[in-house]
Structure 1
Amino acid sequence: MHQHTFSLKSLLWIIAAFWLSNAATAHQQKYATTTVSLNARNGNLEIVHRFLVHDAEHVVKHLFSSDADFNNQPETQKNFANYVVDHFNIKLNDQVPVLDVIGFESDEKFFWVYQEVVKPENITQIQIRQTALHETWPRQVNLVNIEGFGEVNSMEFRKGDQWKTLDL
């Protein structure tokens, strides 16, 4: 009977260790999304980047300063938004458009960066490159969804990925 109790305790310790290791890795998701969508109302292409606030908090300390405070320093959020904009590239019919930065915002869970460009006539090809956070976290995955051109298309970017092309 003593042996059975030891096995039950061992099993409980293993379950607790597994749960704690999963909880520790759950904080940093290393995942972000960008949506490129055609606004049917005004014809513009809208780009919306979404990062988890928790991930952004960790990254700004690595990228900018160890005492950077993402939630209480508006300048830190602005710097992160600029960083996101600098790491996203798009070509429309092999031309690099000038994207307007509309703004950024943070809620309790996500940090959003908004960009926009007037859609050129007759887009036949969209090329994208999204490298945000790849130098900080080699396992970072950036998903880009392209909407408004028929079915939704997705591109997944990992460290080392370069331009990806969608022919329309």
Structure 2
Amino acid sequence: MFKLKYLLPLLLFIYINLGAGLKHPLHVSTTEVSFNAKEKSLEVSCRIFTDDFESILVKLYKQKTDLSEPAMKAKMDEIVKKYLMSHLQIKVNGKPTVLKYIGFEIDHEATNIYLEVDKASSFKAAEVTSTILYDQFDDQMSIVHLVNGKVRKSSKILFPDKTFATNF
């Protein structure tokens, strides 16, 4: 008879080893666009699972990618900026904006990317087009939050859809 004291460590061993080879089941990114009335700017942040993000960067740019390696920070900034500039567009009051890349940081299993739009006028309508990780997953979901003062509007965009637009 198999003793109970051996069963628990065996099950734990199997669980840990099976779980180590599995990726997370969700393919999701989050983008938040907040209007800063005092600075007359849009503050933009994107949150993407780091393993998924690194996979697409390697696939597209065919170079070693390690977002958590301090020695590679400058090189990683280049490709993160290049990727985001081609996969995220924001319109305010019907007009395209110019995104300025600020940087990125790793937060546990996610990468936070920061961008800004200078000289943003009052914010009556906004449109976000996101194709972040669409070239990697056909079940990608983008969650978008638009914040104007105390008003927050959110939506999820499911592949193949790309755009969330709203009025304030």
Q: Fold conserved (TM > 0.5)?
A: yes
Q: Which has the larger radius of gyration?
A: 1
One-letter amino acid of the structure 2 residue matched with residue 155 of structure 1: S
Query: Per-residue displacement from partner, 1:62-112 (whole Å, max 9, x unpaired)?
Result: 222264333333313430232023211111111112222222223443222
Alignment of 1:69 onto 2:70: no
Confirm or deny: 8 A CA contact 2:144 2:164 kept in the other structure: no
Cα 1:149/1:161, change in 2 over 3 Å: farther
TM-score (norm 2): 0.75
Equivalent position to 1:29, from 19, 23, 26: 26
Matching residue of 2:152:
152
SS of 2:145's partner is strand
SS of 1:24's partner is coil
Q: Which stretch shifts more, 85-94 or 95-104? A: 95-104
Query: Per-residue displacement from partner, 1:23-57 (whole Å, max 9, x unpaired)?
Result: 7142x631111110122432321111111222222
Seq. identity, %: 23
Alpha-carbon shift at residue 151 of structure 1 (Å): 3.0
Which segments of 5 or more consecutive residues in structure 2 lack a partner in the other structure?
1-10
User: What pairs with 1:13-52 in structure 2 (closer than 5 Å)?
Assistant: 20=18, 24-26=22-24, 29-52=26-49
SS of 2:96's partner is coil
Structure 1 segments of 4+ aligned residues over 6 angstroms from their partners: none
Q: Which stretch shifts more, 91-100 or 57-66? A: 57-66
User: What pairs with 1:15-164 in structure 2 (closer than 5 Å)?
Assistant: 20=18, 24-26=22-24, 29-65=26-62, 67-72=64-69, 73-74=72-73, 75-117=75-117, 118-121=119-122, 123-164=123-164
Confirm or deny: 8 A CA contact 2:30 2:47 kept in the other structure: yes
Alpha-carbon shift at residue 114 of structure 1 (Å): 1.4
Q: CA RMSD in A?
A: 2.9
- Give the whole-Å Cα distance in 2 for the aligned partners of 1:102 and 1:77: 9
Aligned residues: 154
Higher strand share: 2
Matching residue of 1:7:
none
Query: Per-residue displacement from partner, 1:121-155 (whole Å, max 9, x unpaired)?
Result: 3x321111011110111111111111134432112
Confirm or deny: 8 A CA contact 1:37 1:147 kept in the other structure: yes
